[in-house]
Chain A
Amino acid sequence: MSVALPIPGFPGRIFAVTLPAGPGGTPVTVGGQNALPLLPEGEHPNAPAVGMEVRTGPLELPPALAGTIGPFAGNPAAMARKCAGDWGARFLFLSLAGCHPDAGGQSVSFGAAVVREVLSATPAPVIVGGCGDEEVDALLFPAVAEAALRPVFLSYAEEKNYRLVAGAALAYGHGVVSWSPIDINMAKQMNLLLADLGFPPDRVLIDPLTGGLGYGMEYTFSIIERIRLAGLSGDAALARPVLCHLGDAWKAREATDASEGTWGDVDARGRRWEETTGLACLAAGADLLVCRHPSNVARLSGAAWR
């Protein structure tokens, strides 16, 4: 007996976006699908990709991370090699948090030098994140755009700074991550603004702001689902791959607190906390995940089938 399954057909397709690699490296292509995630229907030419964060500046590491990535703190190039080499990260998210005035205030030229160093340490594709300080980033992005000798993605462009970030990216052939605070309409608005600047749609990723598990994950989940449904339904401004940075998972007390006896082992729990955040993002439709725990690269990649 055969049952007719009501499989939705979508008129739209997500733009395929490639994060270029250096010589000898493997570029990452995501997007290109015309169906919802995790289902054996429609076309999914590219599996979601899992990358790792490499960062400058101080970061207090929770127990689950101290033993794994702890030894590489302060050495972005070595960390980048380890992530891309041993831990299987398909791309790197290089956060220049250390340039923030409250995080040590490394100079803009230092930040640009770190970018150069990481790019020469590994051929893996790289997304470069700013420090989050508006005035510093206004100097940092142009410097990074110039310093990066191969194409990277700049993260992120938002309504306040998009002319500057996208302008720097355009001038040197980089891509951008378009950011909005958990709001589908603002996500679309950002992409329309980028399109008005003539920014090519196949060099744009959407960062919908990823809340950590237990702390706003549900809003992110629904916004990703809505962005994806809109993109597949033909709204070209939202037909972009979605990038989720899982860093907020590590802000949860549940991921880091060793003192609660009834919560189980803090290492396993922290790892699970990030993994669960990532799985929810994948179920909603995320195409790129950035994690901190090395073992989650394999865990999440295993889940991220075509």
Chain B
Amino acid sequence: MNPLDYLVLIGVMVGIAAYGIWRTRAKGDLHSYLKGEGHTHWFTIGLSVMATQASAITFLSTPGQGYESGLGFVQNYFGAPLALLLIAAVFLPIYRRLKVYTAYEYLGKRFDSKTRLLGAGLFLIQRGMGAGITIYAPAIVLSTVMGWRLDATILCSGLLVVAYTVSGGSAAVNLTQKYQIGVIFLGMATAFVVLLLKLPAGLGFTDAIAVAGGYHKLEAVDFSLDPDRRYTIWTGVLGGMFLALSYFGTDQSQVQRYLSGTSLRESRLGLMFNAVFKIPMQLCILLLGALVFVFYQFERPPVFFNQSAWHYAATHGSGDRLRALEHDFNAAHAEKQTHVRSWLAARHAGDPAAAETARTAALAAHARTEAARVATKAVLKAADAKAPTNDSDYVFITFILSYLPHGLIGLLVAVIFAATFSSKAGELNALGSTTVIDFYRHLVRTDATDKHYVVASKIFTALWGFVAIGFALFANLAENLIQATNIVGSIFYGVVLGLFLVAFFLKRVGGTAVFWAAVISQALVFLFYATLSISYLWYNVVGCALCMVISVLIQFFLPRISPLDTAQPAT
């Protein structure tokens, strides 16, 4: 990065944060602080919901997934539109009617205090852990490729987002997210255009798609029933729907976004906006990764995209072996390049037999490049047992830094930070709100003034920010960051969703039954995760189903809830 890139990066990020602080400087009461002014329109809600979910992990990891495995990951999002429909029709009207600040307040009103605290507690645990990942993810990748200090990157980005989230609350989060998602769309569209322009002369978009297809990178839908396969249409629709139902319907970082709407209509339309655009958005990001793969068929990529790890091993006793593997890789890549060009020439000449022969030769050469990569990873691991061997998170950023012009590099790095800030702010806002509303106001200070709760909200939001920064500073996280986030979510989300589905649909089940059902189900999910090897998306279904079934079984042995019981107001 040169000074122009830094100017663009710092200008965009600090400018948006400062604007958010300035515009929301007079938010004095609790309602405004936690829900915004209450006049947020559907488009802002839609962008805000999208921005909260689309963290930096989305823009670092997802193109890497597209590069490595093709479009199959898009199936993970197939359940999202279905879940959003259900939330708009069932969850949202109840939340709005009760005028709750947090989703867990509803559990208190429907069941009892201990169930509310359990739901809020599970949220705080999993989202607190997730918050650390959100801030660590871009920092580790950017610090590695830029040579920045990891701790300084985490501290600078973390403190800036804490500053405007604490200062302006929900209104600042919604406002800044709108501009941040604008930067993200602009940056990704620019990257897409530059990528197409960088393809070799004579190679059009349809050729690029054909090459990607020839390498099996465009297989978006897999109907396999094999439960060990991580991404199939079944895990996507069913597991993905439960994950999305839990995330969008019960995770306070999302609930808080759409509860800020002027009316039920605005909140619903904001959710429908996401139901329509979630799949195409993820598809575009994955396709970008698949096209980066095509680009690297004509330009030689590094044998291992995390060059920092490669250089470390090369200078610590493994240099000869790594250079020999790099030589093998380069030779195989040069051969592959020749075959790909022959393949395209045959395709243009209308000779399918020659095209297929050249494609088969290209695939064989590609297999040799992959073998060299696998051997390189083994050498890296042998040199340092803690060395990261999954480099897919480094693919897109390597492309950006190597091939984009200055100025645009700054813009694309700003995209990564904008995504970090937008999701981080939503999370901190939700963590602070839940701590104050479900714990502090509910258990510690039940009758303080509005001003007192605003101050408490600011303090707790800042504390959660520092916890996340601390977690990111000292974390030793999983290799593929997007999967790590989803795995942590899936372990907890199923049970939390079970609590809410029992509340909405099983009217005869009371608080004690559902509370113990949730505790038992969470313990079983931990046990299954430790012993089984099924796709993590299934834990959303398993946790939810266990919670619902066990709560019905326990309720069978408890006194029935009478209509009189359910008519009393909650506190």
A and B bound? Answer: no
A residues lining the B interface (CB < 8 Å): none
Interface residues of B, Cβ cutoff 8 Å to A: none
